[in-house]
C-alpha cells in the first residue's frame, strides 16, 4: 500500500516511520528534509499550515495523519490561534486533498484530552461528552469532528492517544515529572496518589495505529492507551528507580480526576496493548 505519513519527524511519526516502511511504500511529509530517506520512504516537503497540497504524488491509497502542534502547560502554553493553523486548517487541507485524490482510508492521531478527565475512580469512554480543557485539546476536537462528522468518500479512524511515552517523547507532563525528579522538587498529587492514568508506550501506539491502517474495518473513534491504570505516585516511583533520582511528593486533600481511558473498544477492535508501565519505563529510562 502507498501511504502518506504526516508528522514523520515528530515523536509518534519518527517511531512509526521505520516500522511502516517495512510493510508499505511511504511518502513522508516534512517541512524540511531531515537527512537521507529510509529504505521504502520518499520525503515530500510541504507545510500543512500554509500550503494547498497540489504537488502530491499520485497513487496514495491511505493517510496516517500525525502532524500536530502541541501545548506546553508547564511553559508557554500556545493560544488557540497559534495552534489552529496546523491542527485545524492543516487537517481540513489534508482531508480535502484526500477526497480529491481517491484515498481509501484516513487514520488520525487524536488525543484523549478531547473529553477531559473523568471522575475519580472511573475510566473515560469514547462516548463521553467532549470537554476539551485547553486550546490544544479544542483544536484536536475540531479536527476530529471534521474527520468523523462529514461523509468523506473514504474510511476514517480517529485514535485518541493517552500520554504516549518514550525516552525521546514530547509529552509535557512526563517531561515536567522528569525535571522535578532531577531537581529534587516535590511533585503534587491528590489524596489518592493521583491523578490516575494509563499511558501508552510508543511501541504499542505505533503497532495499534498500523493495525487501524491495515484491518478490514477500523473503529471510527477509539481510545489508544496502556494496559493498566497507574497513579502519579506509582508512575513517578517507577521513573525514580529507573533514573536513580529520589522522589518526593506533596499530597493534596482531595481525590484526583481520572485520566484513565476505557480500553474495551480498543481490545475488541485493534487488540490489547502489550507494554505495562513498569516495563515501559525500565526500557526507556533504565540502565542500558
85-130 pLDDT tens trace: 899 999 999 999 999 999 999 999 999 999 999 999 999 999 999 9
Q: Please, which residues bridge with residue 4 across strands?
A: 27, 63
pLDDT of the residue at 49? 82
pLDDT of the residue at 222? 98
**Domain coordinates in residue numbering, the chain:** 2-165+201-226+260-275
Q: Which of 14-28, 63-77, 111-125, 161-175 has the lowest mean pLDDT?
A: 63-77
Is the per-residue pLDDT at 288 higher than 90? no
Is the per-residue pLDDT at 54 higher than 70? no
Locus of grid cell 484491518: 215
> Rounded to an integer, what distance in angstroms lies between the CA atom of residue 275 and that of residue 226?
7
Per-residue pLDDT band for 175 (boundaries 50, 70, 90) equals very high
Is the per-residue pLDDT at 247 higher than 80? yes
pLDDT of the residue at 74? 63
Name which of 71, 110, 114 is nearest 91 in CA terms.
110
Locus of grid cell 526507556: 284
Is the per-residue pLDDT at 70 higher than 90? no
Instruction: Quote the distance between the C-alpha of residue 137 and its chain's center.
Output: 12
Q: What is the three-class DSSP state of 91?
A: helix
Q: For the residues 55-61, what does the mean pLDDT come to?
A: 87
Q: Is the model more confident about 151 or about 78?
A: 151
Q: What are all long-range contacts of 212-217, with beta carbons under 8 Å and residues at least 24 apart?
A: 212/107, 212/157, 212/159, 212/270, 213/1, 213/3, 213/62, 213/64, 213/105, 213/107, 214/1, 214/23, 215/269, 215/270, 217/155
121 and 258 in contact (C-beta within 8 Å)? Answer: yes
Per-residue pLDDT band for 25 (boundaries 50, 70, 90) equals very high
105 and 128 in contact (C-beta within 8 Å)? Answer: no
> Rounded to an integer, what distance in angstroms lies between the CA atom of residue 117 and that of residue 138?
14
Q: For the residues 210-232, what does the mean pLDDT come to?
A: 97
Per-residue pLDDT band for 73 (boundaries 50, 70, 90) equals low
Residue range 2-165+201-226+260-275 forms a domain whose CATH class is alpha beta
Structure letter (DSSP) for residue 260:
P
The number of helix segments (H) and strand segments (E) in the chain equals 9, 12
Per-residue pLDDT band for 55 (boundaries 50, 70, 90) equals confident
pLDDT of the residue at 212? 98
Task: Tell me how far apart the terminal alpha carbons of the chain are, to the nearest angstrom.
Answer: 36
Amino acid at each position: 500500500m502507498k501511504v502518506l505519513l504526516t508528522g514523520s519527524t515528530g515523536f509518534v511519526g519518527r517511531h512509526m516511520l521505520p516500522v511502516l516502511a517495512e510493510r508499505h511504500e511511504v511518502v513522508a511529509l516534512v517541512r524540511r528534509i531531515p537527512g537521507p530517506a529510509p529504505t521504502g520512504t520518499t520525503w515530500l516537503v510541504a507545510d500543512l499550515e500554509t500550503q494547498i497540497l497540489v504537488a502530491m504524488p499520485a497513487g496514495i491509497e491511505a493517510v496516517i495523519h500525525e502532524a500536530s502542534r502541541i501545548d506546553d502547560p508547564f511553559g508557554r502554553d500556545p493560544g488557540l490561534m497559534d495552534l489552529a493553523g496546523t491542527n485545524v486548517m492543516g487537517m481540513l487541507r489534508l482531508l480535502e486533498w484526500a477526497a480529491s485524490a481517491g484515498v481509501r482510508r484516513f487514520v488520525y492521531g487524536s488525543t484523549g484530552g478531547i473529553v477531559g478527565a473523568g471522575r475519580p475512580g472511573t475510566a473515560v469512554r469514547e462516548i463521553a461528552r467532549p470537554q476539551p480543557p485547553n486550546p490544544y485539546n479544542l483544536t484536536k476536537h475540531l479536527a476530529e469532528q471534521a474527520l468523523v462528522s462529514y461523509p468523506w468518500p473514504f474510511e476514517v479512524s480517529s485514535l485518541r492517544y493517552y500520554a504516549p511515552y518514550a525516552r525521546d517523547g514530547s509529552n509535557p507532563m512526563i517531561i515536567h515529572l522528569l525535571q522535578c525528579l532531577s531537581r529534587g522538587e516535590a511533585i503534587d498529587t491528590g489524596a489518592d496518589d493521583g491523578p490516575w492514568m494509563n499511558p501508552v508506550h510508543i511501541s504499542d501506539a505505533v503497532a495499534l495505529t498500523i493495525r487501524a491502517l491495515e484491518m478490514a474495518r477500523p473503529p471510527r473513534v477509539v481510545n489508544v492507551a496502556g494496559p493498566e491504570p497507574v497513579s502519579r505516585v506509582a508512575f513517578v516511583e517507577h521513573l525514580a528507580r529507573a533514573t536513580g533520582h529520589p522522589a518526593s511528593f506533596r499530597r493534596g486533600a482531595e481525590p484526583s480526576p481520572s485520566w484513565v481511558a476505557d480500553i474495551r473498544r480498543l481490545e475488541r477492535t485493534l487488540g490489547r496493548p502489550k507494554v505495562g508501565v513498569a516495563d515501559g519505563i525500565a526500557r526507556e529510562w533504565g540502565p542500558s
